[in-house]
Amino acid sequence: MVSLGRRDSRVSREDEPNHNLPLPTFNAQQLEERFAQKGLGLDEMVTLSGAHSIGRSHCSSFSNRLYNFGETNPQDPSIDPIFARDLKTKCPQNANNGNDPTVPLDVLTPYRLDNKYYKNLKNHHGLLTSDQSLLSSTSTAEIVRNNARHGQAWAYKFGAAMIKMGYIDVLTGSQGEIRKNCRFVN
C-alpha cells in the first residue's frame, strides 16, 4: 500500500496505531463503505485508489489470489493468467518462510503517479483484490474506464481528492500537535 498522508507535520488520527485503512482483500462495496465513513464519495474513492500507480506490495497481500483462491478455482479467475504466471515467479507459494518479497503495484509505470493503474485493471492486472474489484463492480467500473481514458482529468480529480482527504480527522487542541520533526512525537 502507498503511504499517503500529511507531509506538513500535523498529526491526525492516521498516526494512531489503527490506521483504519481498507484491507487489500476488500471488495468494491467494502471500500465504498470505508471511504464513506470518512466523507469521501464513490468517484473520490476510485480516484484515490489510483495512488496504487506507485509503490509496492508484499506478496502476502495477494498470494491468496494466486494459490488458494477457492475450492473450484485455485487461482482468482479475475486475474489475467499470464500476469498470474509472472507473479508466481516473483512470489513462490512457500515464500512466506520468513521472506515476503514485494512487487510493484503498477507493472506499467511503477515509479510514476499516472492513470496507468486503471489501464492495468482493464487488462486484469490489478494486484490486490481491492484494486481489481473496482472493475468488476457495476458501481465503479465506468469510473475506472473513464480514469483510464482521461489521464489529465484523473490527475485533476486526484489532486482535489487528496486535498479533501487532508482535512479528514485533523486533531486540534490538546488532542494533536504540530510536530517539529514529522517522524517523532514532540
The per-residue pLDDT for range 15-40, each reduced to its tens digit, is: 445 567 899 999 999 999 999 999 99
Annotated binding site for heme b: 52
Annotated binding site: 22, 52, 106, 109, 114
Q: Of 74, 42, 71, nearest to 143 (Cα)? A: 42
Helices within the chain (DSSP H only)? 28-37, 42-49, 63-66, 81-90, 116-122, 129-136, 141-149, 151-166
Annotated binding site for substrate: 22
> What confidence tens digit (pLDDT) does each residue in 34-60 have?
999 999 999 999 999 999 999 999 999
What's the Rg (C-alpha) of the chain? Answer: 17
The CATH-assigned architecture of domain 13-56+110-175 is Orthogonal Bundle (1.10)
Residue 179, pLDDT > 90, answer: no
DSSP single-letter state for residue 71: S
Query: For residue 150, how many C-alpha atoms fall within 13 Å in the half-sphere facing its CB?
Result: 12
Whole-prediction pTM: 0.83
Residue 10, pLDDT > 50, answer: no
Annotated binding site for Ca(2+): 106, 109, 114
pLDDT of residue 97: 65
Question: Is the model more confident about 176 or about 153?
Answer: 153
The domain spans of the chain are: 13-56+110-175
